[in-house]
A and B are shown apart, each in its own frame.
Chain A
């Protein structure tokens, strides 16, 4: 969605006030400049004011690269809107650049004719050199196509804090980001209240810091109000949503809430075995802080120990989970296979990132689909599901546990770096409305055998150690069905391989049918999975608005597929599979359904732009 003006600017005593449907703003600066903080505050305030929001933080991989360099640039993009938005915006309309490196790194993404707000004081020869600028861009005419607002941010901020004697220059400079934030709040007609409250809550114990931040914030706001530089202000109205209580949520936060909810409602211990890895580490941090729930986290010595402990925990009757990213899945593959033949319920969460190998730890991609489907020895069927938005991470986390327990088998939960870190509003559900997962532990020893089959699900009984008279052994060698005795016979192996495959397939009976957004049949079906939902939905909506016969199906159950997927696809003249890899879902669909789909592939470590998807759609219809 671009910065669409809703009407002519109304003249007020303070200049012009223009209604916008939406605007995307990118804050960018040094990793040490508090960019994430500023971006988050702007987002929170906008959300509280009732805009629909969508955010995307862009972290550099290094913890703290040298100040002022291109490698150290950190960014945060937020899209605010009075209508339904699904992405942080293809291109920001406004770039707030705290230093030359931030300008250099982010200018290519800025919309033509967009607005740049820079800290003029940081455009020194030294900083320009660090950013590889031969000449000063604010003095030559390289920025002629943009509207540039030069603010002597450092100077103004220091003046504002002049009376705070205890603060040295460096400490004052640390509040610069709040000055900039205050200015942006004024420009976009936002109240300071939410941020003022946040400052008080966070820095309450350090009144000097709280005072400094508050002073800077207000100073920035008043600067906007009193100078003539900013004649036009903008207002983005409230987005019409169902009544309720809302909060902002990221994918990782939502997934954590989902798993905790699943375990709490089932009255089960939640066990989380993990080893820190970007971008999954926050799941470990958040779960480790929830010990007042029966959540037991285990930071293992490596990825293999993490899943090993998870398997042991599942054997012990807990709802068990391990989380990682692509490289960790590689390490876990042998143990995933063990879980498949032990037939124990557990969830393996993969927050995907750019690969292969160490790849791009802080960039998003969805290139682990084939790895989780096939990256193990033998015929090794595993359930795979993928949330499509930050809030959906909550729903699908609960679903991952439900499917694992039902089929007594591991479930892979495919998230990605984009979902993990971006945020959207979430209408907070009533926990009582969420159905509890049914968990049954057999205690009747009569005719018990460890690999007996449930007629419907083909799952085996989940008997917890400590249950009298049901002692049994399970293992990784092939076995006879029923007894579980080690067996290498031709018949037993054939039977077990096919049974394990059938067990996964039967979950089709319990997962929802695939739905589409748009016409039930037509010229083109756009298919996606995972974090591309927002871009694909927005592009298809735009194409529909232009009169094209196109629909969007976003698949959340990748193995097994929804039972109607084949017939659904056949109702469209063409199928386009858009994904952030070189065609992994496309390969699966082509193989399983005997098709040859169109493909839109991108492997740049960043999400699809709505415009590039729309362009592809228009090529095809």
Chain B
């Protein structure tokens, strides 16, 4: 008798839309990110039940409620910790950590950095809007110095974090940046992030329409964006500009922007190498921003290193190969033992050569 094959219907975008009404402010950049995620989720090659979204606290962190997958809305800054425990217990799940500049780089900075360092196989999406949105407008660790907010009425006196630099400092194996309104680009970055084995860290420039409206205008305003954005492509020279007439060149250790033509060709330009073991190039790129440089977007770094769960489970296998599978009876007796079979006969009769016990 032949087996009846029931065709499994392919997943569609709709399968990933939950029954919850989305409550972000109209015009919030999070809608675009959600839309992209729902669009590419069917293409991730996994059954829906294998996908998990874990968030902390913040506008970003409402994300799991709107994805029809397994999800946890946890506590401020701690999503990477729950995700790590879940990954250790079931490495087959595809885990997405959704966080923001406050949740991920302020209270959660410690956990984010260690998760990246451990190369836990999961994807961190950091929605960077350079402000605290949910709590209504305080400055964040990525707010620019001088930014006036409710808690910094005379301007922020703090240097800001650069999330890409932080991820590099944390030994990140996959580090990328995209922009909420770059739909196609983001879709591709999400796909690549999911494919990567190890921690994928993605910074998403996200617009908070209510509390920090103009934060990313330089990369979203059609008039200026082409001159302010450098699309990183592995193996290709670094060219940018509306007319693709500008490039990045290295002079000694210092990058500089040059105009093509007048004897300068693409051959003189820095070629992107996303797979370099050495993080120096990626670091250099992470420091680039207006006014002197375009903002690099795309994949800064993508290298292969063993993942945390891989190594842990390999140790489990090695332990079983060496000592055999766990045996409770043996375990209980793994100590000096003695047996009582009958009533007492006192002492050791003064000899030190007699047996133990009786």
- Contacting A291 at CB < 8 Å: which of B81, B315, B342? B315
Q: Mark A166-194, 1 if CB is under 8 A from B, else 0.
A: 00000000000000000001000111111
Chain A residues near B320 (CB-CB < 8 A) = 291-292
Is A304 positioned at the interface, with any CB of B under 8 Å from its CB? yes
- Contacting A245 at CB < 8 Å: which of B52, B84, B333, B343? B333
Chain A residues near B315 (CB-CB < 8 A) = 291
Q: Do residues B20 and A485 form an inter-chain contact, with CB atoms below 8 A? A: yes
Q: Do residues B82 and A311 form an inter-chain contact, with CB atoms below 8 A? A: yes
Chain B residues near A475 (CB-CB < 8 A) = 64-65, 72-74
Q: Mark B66-95, 1 if CB is under 8 A from A, else 0.
A: 001111111100101111111111101100
Q: Do residues A242 and B340 form an inter-chain contact, with CB atoms below 8 A? A: yes
Q: Do residues B312 and A465 form an inter-chain contact, with CB atoms below 8 A? A: no
Is A14 positioned at the interface, with any CB of B under 8 Å from its CB? yes
Is A300 positioned at the interface, with any CB of B under 8 Å from its CB? yes
Chain A residue, CB-CB nearest to B338: A48
Would you give the shortest CB distance from B340 to chain A, in whole angstroms?
5
Q: Do residues A191 and B331 form an inter-chain contact, with CB atoms below 8 A? A: no
Is B50 positioned at the interface, with any CB of A under 8 Å from its CB? yes
Please report the C-alpha to C-alpha distance between residue A571 and residue B82 in the assembled complex, in whole angstroms. 48
Q: Do residues A193 and B333 form an inter-chain contact, with CB atoms below 8 A? A: no
Is B5 positioned at the interface, with any CB of A under 8 Å from its CB? no
Please report the C-alpha to C-alpha distance between residue A428 and residue B73 in the assembled complex, in whole angstroms. 44
Would you give the shortest CB distance from A160 to chain B, in whole angstroms?
16
Please report the C-alpha to C-alpha distance between residue A428 and residue B333 in the assembled complex, in whole angstroms. 8
Chain B residues near A315 (CB-CB < 8 A) = 72, 82, 85-86
Would you give the shortest CB distance from B121 to chain A, in whole angstroms?
14
Is B25 positioned at the interface, with any CB of A under 8 Å from its CB? no
Please report the C-alpha to C-alpha distance between residue A323 and residue B257 in the assembled complex, in whole angstroms. 54
Is A370 positioned at the interface, with any CB of B under 8 Å from its CB? no
Q: Do residues A301 and B331 form an inter-chain contact, with CB atoms below 8 A? A: no
Chain A residue, CB-CB nearest to B354: A191
| Contacts known (A189-B347, A243-B342); A261 close to B70, Cβ less than 8 A | no
Is B184 positioned at the interface, with any CB of A under 8 Å from its CB? no
| Contacts known (A191-B348, A302-B110); A291 close to B337, Cβ less than 8 A | no
Chain B residues near A311 (CB-CB < 8 A) = 74, 81-82, 85
Chain A residues near B1 (CB-CB < 8 A) = none
Q: Do residues A19 and B74 form an inter-chain contact, with CB atoms below 8 A? A: no
Q: Mark A392-403, 1 if CB is under 8 A from B, else 0.
A: 000000000000
Please report the C-alpha to C-alpha distance between residue A215 and residue B319 in the assembled complex, in whole angstroms. 37
Is A238 positioned at the interface, with any CB of B under 8 Å from its CB? yes
Q: Do residues B339 and A235 form an inter-chain contact, with CB atoms below 8 A? A: no
Q: Mark B294-331, 1 if CB is under 8 A from A, else 0.
A: 00000000000000000010011011101111101101
Is A546 positioned at the interface, with any CB of B under 8 Å from its CB? no
Q: Do residues B331 and A257 form an inter-chain contact, with CB atoms below 8 A? A: yes
| Contacts known (A189-B347, A191-B354); A465 close to B52, Cβ less than 8 A | yes
Is A468 positioned at the interface, with any CB of B under 8 Å from its CB? yes
Q: Do residues A300 and B345 form an inter-chain contact, with CB atoms below 8 A? A: no
Is A371 positioned at the interface, with any CB of B under 8 Å from its CB? no
Would you give the shortest CB distance from B58 to chain A, in whole angstroms?
13
Chain A residue, CB-CB nearest to B347: A235
| Contacts known (A240-B343, A313-B86); A471 close to B69, Cβ less than 8 A | yes
Is A216 positioned at the interface, with any CB of B under 8 Å from its CB? no
- Contacting A312 at CB < 8 Å: which of B81, B344, B355? B81
Q: Do residues B49 and A193 form an inter-chain contact, with CB atoms below 8 A? A: no
Q: Do residues B340 and A243 form an inter-chain contact, with CB atoms below 8 A? A: yes
Please report the C-alpha to C-alpha distance between residue A305 and residue B70 in the assembled complex, in whole angstroms. 21
Q: Do residues A189 and B348 form an inter-chain contact, with CB atoms below 8 A? A: yes
| Most chain A beta carbons < 10 A, residue from B20, B85, B336 | B85
Q: Do residues A466 and B85 form an inter-chain contact, with CB atoms below 8 A? A: no
Please report the C-alpha to C-alpha distance between residue A476 and residue B83 in the assembled complex, in whole angstroms. 16
Would you give the shortest CB distance from B111 to chain A, in whole angstroms?
6
Interface positions of B from 1 to 41, Cβ below 8 Å from A: 18, 20
Please report the C-alpha to C-alpha distance between residue A236 and residue B347 in the assembled complex, in whole angstroms. 7
Is A388 positioned at the interface, with any CB of B under 8 Å from its CB? no
Q: Do residues B319 and A291 form an inter-chain contact, with CB atoms below 8 A? A: yes
- Contacting A240 at CB < 8 Å: which of B92, B333, B344? B344
Q: Do residues B73 and A474 form an inter-chain contact, with CB atoms below 8 A? A: yes
| Most chain B beta carbons < 10 A, residue from A44, A221, A247, A471 | A471
- Contacting A431 at CB < 8 Å: which of B64, B316, B328, B342? B328
Is A477 positioned at the interface, with any CB of B under 8 Å from its CB? yes
Q: Is the interface of A mostly helix, strand, loop or mixed?
A: mixed
Is A338 positioned at the interface, with any CB of B under 8 Å from its CB? yes
Q: Do residues A301 and B350 form an inter-chain contact, with CB atoms below 8 A? A: no
Q: Do residues A465 and B337 form an inter-chain contact, with CB atoms below 8 A? A: no
Is A153 positioned at the interface, with any CB of B under 8 Å from its CB? no
Q: Do residues A466 and B338 form an inter-chain contact, with CB atoms below 8 A? A: no
Is B47 positioned at the interface, with any CB of A under 8 Å from its CB? yes
Is A64 positioned at the interface, with any CB of B under 8 Å from its CB? no
- Contacting B356 at CB < 8 Å: which of A48, A260, A485? A48
Q: Mark A471-489, 1 if CB is under 8 A from B, else 0.
A: 1111111000000011000
Is B346 positioned at the interface, with any CB of A under 8 Å from its CB? yes
Chain B residues near A238 (CB-CB < 8 A) = 343-346, 358
Q: Do residues B335 and A305 form an inter-chain contact, with CB atoms below 8 A? A: no
- Contacting B84 at CB < 8 Å: which of A17, A48, A312, A473? A312
Is A271 positioned at the interface, with any CB of B under 8 Å from its CB? yes
Is B114 positioned at the interface, with any CB of A under 8 Å from its CB? yes
Please report the C-alpha to C-alpha distance between residue A566 and residue B119 in the assembled complex, in whole angstroms. 54
Is A470 positioned at the interface, with any CB of B under 8 Å from its CB? yes
Chain A residues near B312 (CB-CB < 8 A) = 296
Please report the C-alpha to C-alpha distance between residue A189 and residue B347 in the assembled complex, in whole angstroms. 7
Q: Do residues A473 and B73 form an inter-chain contact, with CB atoms below 8 A? A: yes
Q: Mark A449-480, 1 if CB is under 8 A from B, else 0.
A: 00000000000000011111111111111000
Q: Mark B98-127, 1 if CB is under 8 A from A, else 0.
A: 000000000000110010000000000000
Chain A residues near B352 (CB-CB < 8 A) = 185, 191-193, 218, 221
Chain B residues near A375 (CB-CB < 8 A) = none
Q: Do residues B85 and A312 form an inter-chain contact, with CB atoms below 8 A? A: yes
| Most chain A beta carbons < 10 A, residue from B325, B329, B335, B355 | B335
Q: Do residues B347 and A342 form an inter-chain contact, with CB atoms below 8 A? A: no
| Contacts known (A48-B357, A189-B347, A308-B74); A292 close to B332, Cβ less than 8 A | no
Q: Do residues B70 and A465 form an inter-chain contact, with CB atoms below 8 A? A: yes
Q: Do residues A308 and B88 form an inter-chain contact, with CB atoms below 8 A? A: no
List 18 other contacts, CB 8 Å, given A191-B356, A473-B72: A12-B350, A49-B338, A189-B348, A191-B353, A221-B352, A236-B347, A245-B333, A249-B335, A260-B328, A271-B88, A293-B326, A312-B85, A315-B86, A466-B49, A467-B49, A473-B53, A475-B65, A476-B74
- Chain A residues in the interface with B (C-beta under 8 A): 12, 14, 17, 19, 44-45, 47-50, 82, 185, 189-194, 198, 218, 221, 235-249, 257, 260-261, 264-265, 269, 271, 273, 290-296, 298, 300-302, 304-318, 320, 334-335, 338, 342, 428-431, 464-477, 485-486
Cβ contacts A to B, 9 pairs, < 8 Å:
A48-B357, A193-B354, A247-B333, A261-B328, A294-B316, A304-B81, A305-B78, A465-B90, A475-B72
- Chain B residues in the interface with A (C-beta under 8 A): 18, 20, 47-50, 52-54, 64-65, 68-75, 78, 80-90, 92-93, 110-111, 114, 312, 315-316, 318-320, 322-326, 328-329, 331-333, 335-348, 350-358
| Closest 3 A/B residue pairs (Cβ) | A308-B81, A475-B73, A312-B85
